[in-house]
Amino acid sequence: MSVVIQVIALLNGFMNIVGKIFIGPVISFLPGWLSNTVISAVIGVICIILFKYTSNQDAIARVRDKIKANMLALKLFKDDLGVTFRSQAKVMGASFMLLVHALVPMIIMMIPVVLFIAQMGLFY
């Protein structure tokens, strides 16, 4: 148990330093709403970059292609009830696969985002 406490204490000290370096100057020069917007936009860009490099982009592209193909089938064969229901089921299945492919990047992004939100909570 004491190892966990030591890790949290080290992480807290590190994040306090990072917060003072990156969040402190922004908060001191900008009003609250604008500083919050700027910090959130920067964190959003960082999350997009993290998502790109931690996700399987090829698998996501294949799933998106399947969704596009089934959406096209919905438009082309709207008179055929069987094709419509199968295409809708395939779109739902592909949407679920997109969620599955996004789980690992979301877990990886969750760690720095939670730490930054905690720091922003302390500064505001």
Residue 1: pLDDT band by 50, 70, 90 thresholds?
low
pLDDT digits (tens, 9 = 90+) for 34-55: 888 888 898 899 899 999 999 9
pLDDT digits (tens, 9 = 90+) for 80-101: 889 999 999 999 999 999 999 9
Q: For the chain, what are the domain ranges?
A: 2-123
Q: What is the DSSP string of the chain?
A: -HHHHHHHHHHHHHHHHHIIIIIHHHHHHS-HHHHHHHHHHHHHHHHHHHHHHHS-HHHHHHHHHHHHHHHHHHHHTTT-HHHHHHHHHHHHHHHHHHHHHHHHHHHHHHHHHHHHHHHHHHH-
Q: Does residue 123 surpass a pLDDT of 80?
A: no
Residue 120: pLDDT band by 50, 70, 90 thresholds?
confident
Q: Does residue 5 surpass a pLDDT of 90?
A: no
pTM for the model: 0.72
| pLDDT at residue 26, as a whole number | 82
CA distance 107 to 109: 6
